[in-house]
Chain A
Amino acid sequence: MIKLTIDGKTVHANPGDHVLDVALENGIDIPHLCHHKDLFPSGSCRMCLVQVEGAPRPQTSCGMTVQDGMVIDTKTGAIEAMRRDIVDLFVSDHPLNCVICDKNGSCDLQDNAYRYNIQETSFDFELSRPKYYDDNPFYVRDYQYCIMCGKCVRVCDEIVGANAIDFSGRGFTSIISTPFEVPLAESDCVFCGNCVQICPTAALLPRSKIGKGREWEMERRQTICGYCGVGCTVEYALKDGKIIYAQGTPDGAVNGEFLCVKGRFGWDFNSSPDRLTEPLIRKDLAYELGLTDEPWEMPKTSALKGKPKLGNFIPVSWEQAIDITATKLAGIVQKHGPDAVVGLTSARCTNEENYLFQKFMRAGVGTNNVDHCARL
């Protein structure tokens, strides 16, 4: 255990820990823009400067390894002035049009401009990267808001391993880009959107969010992703009861803030017009039961061909559907025995549902003919 002092407070750390992480964990706020706890430090934004006692000049704390007995001051007048200058420089080519910006309310640069009371830049304003790419249904890239912190490049390399983007060009005209600026679909991008998640500004935004409401109007609900078995926590932002976008949250038990393309962008099936909304009975059974006067026969064409044919069914009430189902099952059990019934429970239903389903098959119907697609 290493002991050090930050802003007069004694804190403990493990060898190899970085000063910025230790400070944040101990509730000591050091401003930062390019830092993320799951990424290697890059020191590019310079906001996390601190003064170490005995050091000749301020140093960035994100990449500074803790040492026993260190005494650190995070908020000297000189350092705060430097930070203000840094933000001032950032906004010299970042339009402060927060009023119309979809990141308004969750923007790290805006927070820092507020913190240092910067209404507009004291330098000459010049847009360095007036580029806008809307080349895919998942997210848009609006380069005027990019502050070149490189978090997107690092997450793509260090977490996702896709290496789809990197710094390109020089000086003010440098941008984050795919090789030769090819559209994302032609690059190695896997559209996981983790870059969008950790982008501190509006440079990367989920397409589904644009123009759909302000951050503070949205309600947030967390649940577990319904796709693979990793079990990621996903947070949905809703407005007027509709999902606007999905993201990871730092407290996700297995995934932290990171998601894949299906978890982050693949939720819109849920509001598909194809969703089943009422119980249905196939027309031949409906005729047999006297629910319709028209005789009908199941077509021989494969169920795999063409669109799902709702026209083969007629809607019934829940009461009718349950009664017909129970009557039919009971009839078959009485005539052919319980083992004539088989049940497939589901790897996409909850534990409680699976439990109840197999309980029904075993203690209700009276058979062990219950399986699911674990093998498939």
Chain B
Amino acid sequence: MTNSEQEVRDADCILITGSNTGESHPVLSYEVIRAVKKGASLVVIDPRAISMTRHATLHLRPKPGHDMHIFMAMAHVIIREGWADMDFIEARTEEFETFKQSVMETTPEVAALATGVPADKIEEAARLYALGQRQSGKSIYAEGNGTAEPRGHSTILYAMGITQRSNGTDLVHMLANLSMMAGQIGKPSTGVNPLRGQSNVQGACDLGGLPNVLPGYQKVFDEAKRKAVAEKWGVADLPAKVGLTVVEMGHGMAEGHVRAMYVMGENPLMSDPNTNLVEQEFRLLDFMISQDIFLNETGQLAHVVLPAASSLEKDGTFTNTERRVQMLYPVVPPPGQAKADWEIVAAIAQKFDEKMGRAGHVKWNFASTAEIMAEVAAVTPIYGGISHQRLAGDGLQWPCPTPEHPGTQYLHAGKFSRGLGKFFPIKVTLPYEQPDEEYPLILTTGRVLYHYHTGTMTRRSEGLDWRVPRGYVEVNPVDAAAIDLLDGGTVKIISRRGEVRTQARIGERVPPGVVFLSFHWKEAPANILTQDEKLDPIAKIPEYKANAVRLENPKMKRTKKAKA
């Protein structure tokens, strides 16, 4: 997030898109509710009637994969109506003209035709967002305390509905464009705010758990930075070639050049796209390690399974979605011989170096996580001022470059990290897999409130399992009627990759032509259906939010296909 979570409660307008906030980030949704109860306006752009739409001033409901038209049309309206913040654009940004040209033809009417969302709703969304207009009550920014600003503060919240798309990077650029053109960034309660789905996904990215960057987002191909890290680690140099992303790793196994995999605390068999293929790929490996708290689906294919301590059983730090680094403290001891992951990794690394005949070159034996954090601070500029000692209490938000630095509540204040904020010209790209006669529906995936990711933890929780014990697919009554499907009936969902069987939950939460299945269920693994061919070209994220499928009712004697 460019901004902080508690700033949301003071926003004048909140734009939520591609985030089922109420179910995937419930406690952040409380901030949204608090703002709305004080009179803020809430614009939700989402194909599904998610719980936040109950509180929305406006719900724009495009077909999955078509929202880019709406964002472009909003930009069009903002320019046409003179709502753009020209002072901000001139002082703080560059290449606005190129961007402006790219949206000139996307009028709200054009977008309405493409998405099914009425033009006047798009215009209203543009007005509420650009001007930060409230429904009622007083703005603490635009009207309060004698320092009134010409417009209220608007914030954008988004999640995987934007990024798990074959044009995800373009969409994020587009949201950034919107925030810059309206001057809704670099101030409290504004910004472009991705809501991160896992307890330490932010930290895993920050500290180099990505194939192209070293800790602190230092590019592996930036020689000076790479050599500096190498020196601190006591090696001559580090690999400069960008590594494989998670989906590419699987493809590498199929091609035969990837022979071993070390998995720490993940269940890629369930979470990667095209599960059937992933399982074949994993079975080709010469050696696989699964280090986890449970024997999950992936672990069953591993050669070595190592028992890990859970987050309730160890110390260390997590970095949350607002870049806040916070201390973990052990609550209970680990079961049996289970150990903290850092202890296991260190032991393997030490032994590996011995086997390679170069023991002692690189430091692996740390006495504590505090000592590891000291090394993190030394090689990671954005964590430079962070130490366990400083984190007691509320933690610290990065960038925190020095031991005296108080941390950063919101980014881009006064100046963008890169200097001038750059507008990206935008063009519309539709989802890779379009519905056709054979696969007429669009499948979109996500979470439900009571479960988390591949269900290894939540499905072992008595209460959560009681509430939602099994998977289901959300189907619109129109699509259900077409195959005589009843609420609660068994249904087959079929894509070009495979098929799953699950229960139907029929209702208006999904529009006609769209079905939703969450990916928590190993009995109905959503990712059997999803495609792994066309990823976002830059972020390499699979397109989980739009895959073509068809439904079949196994009870229906003759399906349309059989007739044909």
Quick one: which of B5, B214, B249, B289 contacts A230, CB cutoff 8 A? B5
Whether B116 is near chain A, meaning CB under 8 Å from some CB there, is no
CA distance A309 to B297 in the complex (A): 10
30 contacts between A and B (CB under 8 A): A160-B26, A160-B33, A225-B199, A227-B457, A261-B463, A262-B450, A266-B458, A270-B312, A271-B332, A276-B294, A276-B338, A304-B270, A325-B351, A342-B261, A342-B262, A343-B263, A344-B262, A348-B311, A349-B311, A353-B316, A354-B204, A356-B345, A356-B372, A359-B233, A363-B233, A371-B210, A372-B209, A373-B201, A376-B268, A376-B272
What are the residues of chain A within 8 A of B148 when measuring CB–CB? Answer: none
B287→A230 contact, CB < 8 A: no
Cβ A348 vs Cβ B200 within 8 A? yes
Interface bracket on A: 35 or more
How far in angstroms is the closest Cβ of chain B from A129?
Answer: 25
B464 A261 Cβ-Cβ under 8 A: yes
- Expressed in whole angstroms, the minimum distance between the Cβ of B305 and any Cβ of chain A is 4
Question: Contacts A304-B269, A356-B346: A333 and B356 contacting too (C-beta < 8 A)?
Answer: yes
Q: Which residues of B contact A136 (CB under 8 A)?
A: 463, 466-467
Per the 8 Å Cβ criterion, residues 240-267 of B in contact with A are 241-247, 249, 252, 257-266
Q: Which 4 pairs, one residue from A and one from B, show the smallest C-beta to C-beta distance?
A: A277-B336, A231-B320, A350-B316, A368-B243
**Is B372 in contact with A352, judged by CB distance below 8 angstroms?**
yes
Q: With A and B bound together, what is the CA distance between A278 and B43 in angstroms?
A: 50
Partner of A308, one of B164, B235, B299: B299
Are B362 and A363 neighbours in the complex by a CB distance under 8 Å? Answer: yes
Q: Cβ of B204 and Cβ of A368 under 8 Å apart? A: no
A253, A309, A313, A372, most chain B CB atoms within 10 A: A372
Q: Which of B37, B54, B335, B452 contacts A275 (CB 8 A)?
A: B335
How long is the Cα–Cα vector from A31 to B314 in the complex, in angstroms? 40
By a CB distance below 8 angstroms, the chain A residues around B462 are 137, 268
Q: Verify if B478 is at the interface (C-beta below 8 Å from A).
A: no
A373, B30: Cα distance in complex, Å? 26
A268-B462, A270-B312, A330-B352 known; A368-B293 Cβ under 8 A:
no
Bound CA span A76–B265, Å: 61
Q: Which residues of A contact B (CB under 8 A)?
A: 38, 40, 136-138, 157-161, 185, 190-192, 221-233, 236, 238, 241-243, 251, 253-255, 258-263, 265-272, 274-282, 284-285, 298, 302-304, 308-310, 312-313, 318, 321-330, 332-334, 336, 338-376
- Contact (Cβ within 8 A) B261 A230: no
Contacts of A231 in B (CB 8 A): 199, 318-322, 324, 326
Q: Are B261 and A322 in contact (CB under 8 A)?
A: no
Chain A residues, Cβ within 8 Å of B36: 161
Residue of B nearest to A304 (CB): B522
Closest to A360 in B: B349
Q: Mark B228-243, 1 if CB is under 8 A from A, else 0.
A: 0010011100110111
